[in-house]
Every structure is written in structure tokens, then in C-alpha cells.
Structure 1
Amino acid sequence: MRPLGAPGHAVVPDSVVPCAPVGDVSVQEQIDRLHDMPPDLLLKDLEQAFRPPAAHWRAAADRSDRWLPAHWRLAADRPDRWLRGYAGALADVWAVAEPLWSRARPLLDREVARVGVASVRGGADALLGSLAGRLVRDENGLVIEGVAAGVHELGDRSLVLVPMLAGKDALIVGLDDPEAVWIAYPVPAAGRLWRTDTDDLSELVGPVRAELLRTLDRPMTMTALAGGMNIPPSSLTFHCDRLVAARLIARERRGREVWIDRTPRAGALLELCLR
């Protein structure tokens, strides 16, 4: 992975970045594409991305070890092996990240709605300037920090915004696709998906009651909930009493069992704490 994340280098060959997000292409399809990619295509893209213009070839002695950045040389020496390793690494990452991606669905849906509303109501300029700290909207267009110097005209191409699960400073842009310019930016509040120390819900209601509310993704009996959370029934009753008083859960006796469920008020609170 080093060639793609070497500090101080922003350019990556087109063939090893995700497909331009102008259609529905699955992660597995993109991994398969890397597995099947001819090594010569990677070498061609490296040349296109990094080789100096023809007028400068003589000065560079036309040798790849002069114009190819050091962090890409290993990939260029063994392109077939590197592509297989890269595809395998992506498959391993996706195996771990897919559940997180599924958990992020409410965040992603909310961001799609936010972008749609801003576009319809004429707030696209303000929206573009708020996507990430490395994007600045001014009178001349969109200034992207960290991208190689140059001016890129949008022309008739579409501008595609791609919310992604990443740290707050992450940014990926595709400027050369003939159909669209795309900008991948961190979806707001993504960091809360992988926080394990504390969270807003725990700070509001306490860690035990926060876990209780998250566990109640469906109605459960008090017995099942106590066993699932591994706490004594007396302690569970105490916490449930407090959550009933706050109108965050409802209790109902059915025969010999007491069933509890989250209220709509609790659902709204959980959604708010994921923002």
C-alpha cells in the first residue's frame, strides 16, 4: 500500500483507483478488475502520470529510474505481483470494513439528502466549501489543497460528490475522467462509527443504559435482555425504571413475561447521537 499513501505525493495512476463513481459498481467487481488487469496497463498509467513531457526526456535521460518516483519503483519492477498483492489487500480490508459500511447507512442516506436539498435550493456553492477542510470555494472556482498545481475546467462534465468513511482530513479527487469530475470526502460524523472509548449517547444516559438502548433493536423480554447484557435482573429493573421515566422505553406484560421496546423518542435520540 505504500505507493498509494507516500507522504507528500498526491498523484496516483488512474488504473489503481476506484472506478469513476458514475454508475453502480460493487467493491468485489473492482477487486476482480484489479486481479484481471494486464500488467502493461499499470506501466502505461505510471508513464502517463509521471513521465516528463517529450521535450524533457533527454534531460531525464529517458530512464524510468530518473522520472518514476521512488515509492512506485517496486510496483513497476514487478507489476503483475504488485497488482495481485494490491487486490488481495483490498479484499482483506473490505472483509473488515463491510460491516462498518452497513452501519453507516443512516449517515450516508442523510448526507445524500443534504446534498440533494442544497442542490435543489441553490446552495451548491456553500455546500462545496463545507465538504472538507482542504476544499475552499472562492470567486474563481474550487481550490483543492494538496492537488498538483494546475487549472481544471469542469466544462460539460458532471460534478459527482462521493461521501466516504474516512478521517476528517481525507480527500480523493478524480479530475481526468471525460464524463465527470468526482470528489470523495468524509461523510460528517463518520468518526463516531469506530469510537470505542465513549460516545454522545453514553455521556447523555450512561454507558449501561446506552448499551441497553442499542441492544433493543427489537422488542425483548426482561429475561432475555438481562442474559444478553450479562447483568442481574435487579440492576436491569433499576435502569429500565429510569429509561421508562425518560420515555425512552416502554414496558408491557404479556402473560408471565415483561417485554420492553424502544420508543420513537429513543430512536430519534439514537439517530441524533450518530450525527
Structure 2
Amino acid sequence: MHSHTELCLGPLDEVRISLSAHQGATLLSLVADVFGARGHGVPPRWRAMVRGAVDPAGAAVLRPLFAPGYSIIPDCVTPTACMPDGDAATQFAQLADLSPDTLLDELEAEFGSVVPPQWRPVVDRPRQWIEGYTDVLRRVWREFDPVWRGAESYVRRETERVGAAVLQDCSEAVLHDLSARFRLVGESLRLPDPQAETYALAGRRLVLVPIVSGPGASMFALDRPDLVWIGYPVPGVGRLWQTPPPAPADDPLSLVVGQLRASVLRAAAQPLTMGRLAALLDTSPANATHHCSQLSAAGLLERHRQGRNVWISRTERGDAVVALLSERAAVPDSPW
């Protein structure tokens, strides 16, 4: 059974929700996945991009943060330290001004006089470690920044969606559909966490932070006195790497079933909810449902309800159709 941390929200209609498009959460998710083996689902192309930005010596700087067993990221060096304001550049400026004594004080407060082995090199040469760490984060973000800018429309739509839900007193619907890894149970939000704990929102503001990395992105900070923030995958971001480029006019699958239905079949290679499908294809839930019904009637998709969600996936027949028609469209120099 997977463990989880529980955030007790209290009456849902009293929860103060806002959204922050904070770059630091995405940066932390990328680093945790690529260098920390934290499994946020970053796709291979983006993983290669991030890993290529950092040499082996730079990657070694990150080891204390993600060592097996007990690992922490001191508040003073986390990329989300300036949440909910600021951006990656703001965080880099703060790191440049960070005093080694501040880092050492946080490590002492966390570990006492016995510092774990992975942190001893940091304690011995804190200034050198801070400079190396800052350089690694700068390099990763410099490489990934074009992807972030390409995802700005997805982040903007999510900002509008959350804002509209809050104005219409539909916060519960937003909290239900943040991530497949989160569960809203009554007045509590359950978040995946090996160090299971329980927190109370206790009137603090709840800041939602869309992350541009992978479908398994999950991070949060629940112990700040002023607010709680929760990072989750921005809806639709999979289109940037899961969905092939726009099909040419002679794409066989699109010619047989239509362009949108071809996109549905390709997206349904792995099970996903109807809500996620609609966001992925940038279409309305009603339109997605209509096309899925037709594909289901043709035996290419199967649907089943699980709780509040309807899940879809390709059937064996659907797999065979996609494979056959995609093979005909394949070209040797395809970037995918």
C-alpha cells in the first residue's frame, strides 16, 4: 500500500485558492526526475536535454539532495524558495547572495551535530557547493527555458480555469482533478509521500502550481506559516511531447478516421481519463466524449468508469489499426 501525506483542508467552500505559475517548481521537478530518480515522468527527449546541460561533476553536486534514505533540500537553496512570487532568475539572484552560514545553520537545525555522509562535503566547503549548485540550476533552466515558453499557453489556460472555478465556488472540482496521484477524500487531500504525515491548512492560503515536466509531477510544501503550495502536472502539457507533430494531409490514420479521432487513438495508447484527454487535445469534454463513443462503437476504444472518472484506452483492435496505418506514414528522418 502506498503511503501518503494528508492535508486537512477544512470546509472546502472556505479554502482560499490561488495559482502561481512559478518556474522553480518545474525546475525542481526536472532535477528531481533526471538526477534524483524521483520518477516524475519526464519524457526521454526532455530528460536528454536536461542531462546534456550538466557535466558529471555538476551532477555530483546534486547528490546530497537526493541521496537514498533520508534526503532533504534546505529551504534556503530550494528553487521554490521565493514561492509564490518571482521566477527562476529571482531564485538564482537569491542563491548568488546566499551566505554559507545560512546554509550551515539550516543543516545543523535539520541534522544536529551528526551530518549524514552525503552532506559532509557541503559542510566542508559550503561556498564552493553553493556556487556549483547555482551553476547547475542555471544550466538546466537555460536549456529548458524554450520548452517553458512553448508551454505558456497551457499555463495561461490553467490559470483561467482555476480562476473561473474559484469565482464560481467550484473549488472542489479543481481539487478533484489536479492529478491522478492526488485524492480528495471528504475535506482532506491525500498526496503521495513516503514520509507520511498529517497537516492542517488552518486558514492558510492554498497555492496551486502547474508544473511543466511529466504526468507524475508531484511536490508540495505544507509547513510554511503563510501558505501551502502544491505542484501538479499542467493539463495538456503532454501535447508538447506525447502527441506527434500535426499530421500531413496524407496521414493514413487521419484519412481513415478523421484528424481528431486519430489524435484520440494515439493519445489512448495508455489509459487516461476523459478530462485529461479533452485537455490534451484542447477540445471540449462533450466533443471528446462524442468521438470516443464512435471509436468505442467501432471496437477501437474501451471505456470504464472508476469513481467519478471515465477512463479510456485502446483495444487490441485499436492498437492494430494505429500500428498498421502509422507504419505506412512513417518516414526515415522523423524527429519522433
What is the aligned counterpart of 1:19 among 81, 86, 89?
A: 81
- Output the amino acid matched with 2:229: W
- Output the amino acid matched with 1:102: R
1:33-88 superposed Cα distances (whole Å, 9 cap, x missing partner): 1122111111222233344xxxxxxxxxx432xxx3x4333323322111111111
Call closer, same or farther: CA 1:127–1:95 in 2, change over 3 Å. Answer: same
CA contact (8 A) 2:214 2:238 kept: yes
Call closer, same or farther: CA 1:10–1:273 in 2, change over 3 Å. Answer: farther
> Is 2:129 the partner of 1:44?
no
Q: Larger Rg: 1 or 2?
A: 1
162-171 or 9-18, larger mean C-alpha shift: 9-18
Greater relative CO (CA pairs within 8 A, separation 6+): 2
Call closer, same or farther: CA 1:199–1:7 in 2, change over 3 Å. Answer: farther
CA contact (8 A) 1:12 1:49 kept: no
Q: Hey, what does 2:40 align to over in structure 1?
A: none
- Output the amino acid matched with 1:178: P
> Is 2:236 the partner of 1:189?
yes
Secondary structure (helix, strand or coil) at the match of 1:182 reads: strand
CA contact (8 A) 2:235 2:280 kept: no
Distance 2:126 2:74 in 1: 13
Q: Hey, what does 2:198 align to over in structure 1?
A: 151
> Is 2:161 the partner of 1:100?
no
- Output the amino acid matched with 2:171: A
Distance 1:166 1:114 in 2: 20
1:272 is displaced (CA, Å) by: 7.2
Distance 1:49 1:75 in 2: 14
1:12 is displaced (CA, Å) by: 2.1
1:10 is displaced (CA, Å) by: 6.2
1:187 is displaced (CA, Å) by: 0.7
Q: Hey, what does 1:128 align to over in structure 2?
A: 175
1:177-200 superposed Cα distances (whole Å, 9 cap, x missing partner): 2211111111123233245xx616
Alpha carbon RMSD of aligned pairs, Å? 3.0
Call closer, same or farther: CA 1:29–1:77 in 2, change over 3 Å. Answer: same
Runs (4+) off by over 4 Å: 7-10, 204-207, 271-275
Distance 1:200 1:13 in 2: 40
TM-score relative to the length of structure 1: 0.62
Secondary structure (helix, strand or coil) at the match of 1:143 reads: strand
Call closer, same or farther: CA 1:89–1:152 in 2, change over 3 Å. Answer: same
Q: Hey, what does 1:199 align to over in structure 2?
A: 244
Distance 1:143 1:272 in 2: 24
1:1-275, aligned counterparts within 5 Å? Answer: 1-6=62-67, 11-17=72-78, 18-23=80-85, 25-51=86-112, 62-64=113-115, 68=116, 70-146=117-193, 148-194=195-241, 199=244, 201-202=246-247, 205=249, 273=281
Call closer, same or farther: CA 1:35–1:20 in 2, change over 3 Å. Answer: closer
CA contact (8 A) 2:211 2:217 kept: no
Secondary structure (helix, strand or coil) at the match of 1:14 reads: coil
CA contact (8 A) 1:19 1:30 kept: yes
Q: Hey, what does 1:227 align to over in structure 2?
A: none
1:7 is displaced (CA, Å) by: 5.0
- Output the amino acid matched with 2:123: A
Q: Percent identity?
A: 36
Distance 1:185 1:10 in 2: 21
Secondary structure (helix, strand or coil) at the match of 1:178 reads: coil
1:26 is displaced (CA, Å) by: 2.8
CA contact (8 A) 1:129 1:136 kept: yes
CA contact (8 A) 1:171 1:185 kept: yes
CA contact (8 A) 1:13 1:42 kept: yes
CA contact (8 A) 2:207 2:230 kept: yes
Secondary structure (helix, strand or coil) at the match of 1:161 reads: strand
CA contact (8 A) 1:192 1:274 kept: no
Mind listing any 5+ residue stretches in structure 1 that lack a counterpart?
52-61, 208-241, 247-270
- Output the amino acid matched with 1:15: C
Q: Hey, what does 2:54 align to over in structure 1?
A: none
Distance 1:31 1:199 in 2: 34
Distance 1:11 1:98 in 2: 26
Distance 1:165 1:8 in 2: 27
1:75-130 superposed Cα distances (whole Å, 9 cap, x missing partner): 23322111111111111111111111111111001111111122223332232232
